[in-house]
Amino acid sequence: MKQLVVYSSQGGNTKKLAEELFKQLPEENKDIAPVAEAPDPSGYDVVCVGFWYKGGEPDPAAQQYLKKCKSGKVFLFATHGAAPGSNAAALGMNAAMEMLAGATVIGTFSCQGEVPEKVLQTAANKDPQPPWLKDAASAKGHPNGSDFMDLSEALTKAGLKPKPAPPKGDVLTGDHAM
């Protein structure tokens, strides 16, 4: 099972998430690459594609790569200024799924990514202001350890990571079973 992590990142948030994802994948036969240097997805069984949201969609470099994913399994991950669970967050992920050229989506994960002050100011001066701007203050410090735990759950759900073993003592087995 050959696995590839590809990411696009302008400010470093998605790169941080991608490196954590790569670390969490138990598969030994795995590669990681920024999108500009990424190999063709067709040589892999599973490709995890990471992007950041720009104008409500995956950033342009990631869009190009998503369009190359014609077969196999894909796990999508992303960072955004929008709040987790918000409409803006869902729309960006849906847009990414629609760009895939035939690959099967086995799971998705996204979380907030800190937005630089300068970007916030530019967005605040727009009329109308983008819908994600009101949530962007709460993106400070993300992605963080709590996001990485949520990522772990998403990877397990997608079948890329085994379920964590139950804590010892919780399950009665052998001589102790009744």
Residues forming contacts to ligand FMN in the complex (CB under 6 A) are: 9-15, 52-56, 79-82, 88, 113, 115, 119, 130, 132
- Cβ nearer to ligand FMN, comparing 123 with 156: 123
- Of 84, 88, 97, 87, the residue nearest 144 (C-alpha): 84
Q: 58 exposed, middle or buried (CB, 10 Å; 0-12, 13-18, 19+)?
A: buried
In the complex with ligand FMN, the residue whose CB is nearer, 126 or 168, is 126
> Which residue's Cβ has the minimum distance to ligand FMN?
113
Alpha-carbon separation of residue 99 from 54, 76, 108, 134, 168 (angstroms): 15, 12, 14, 27, 44
Nearest approach, Cβ of residue 161 and ligand FMN (Å): 23
Nearer to ligand FMN, 86 or 156 (CB): 86
Beta-bridge mates of residue 48: 5, 75
Residue 71 DSSP code: S
Query: What minimum distance in Å lies between the beta carbon of 66 and ligand FMN?
Result: 16
Judged by beta carbon, residue 97 or residue 119, the one nearer ligand FMN is 119
Distance in Å, CB of 113 to ligand FMN, minimum: 2
Q: Shortest approach of ligand FMN to residue 5 CB, angstroms?
A: 14
What is each CA distance from 43 to 31, 40, 47, 104, 118, in whole angstroms?
A: 11, 6, 9, 15, 40
Q: Are 94 and 79 in contact (CB under 8 A)?
A: no
Q: Cα(149)–Cα(10) distance, rounded to whole angstroms?
A: 23
The residue (of 87 and 104) whose beta carbon lies closer to ligand FMN is 87
Closest separation in Å from C-beta 24 to ligand FMN: 18
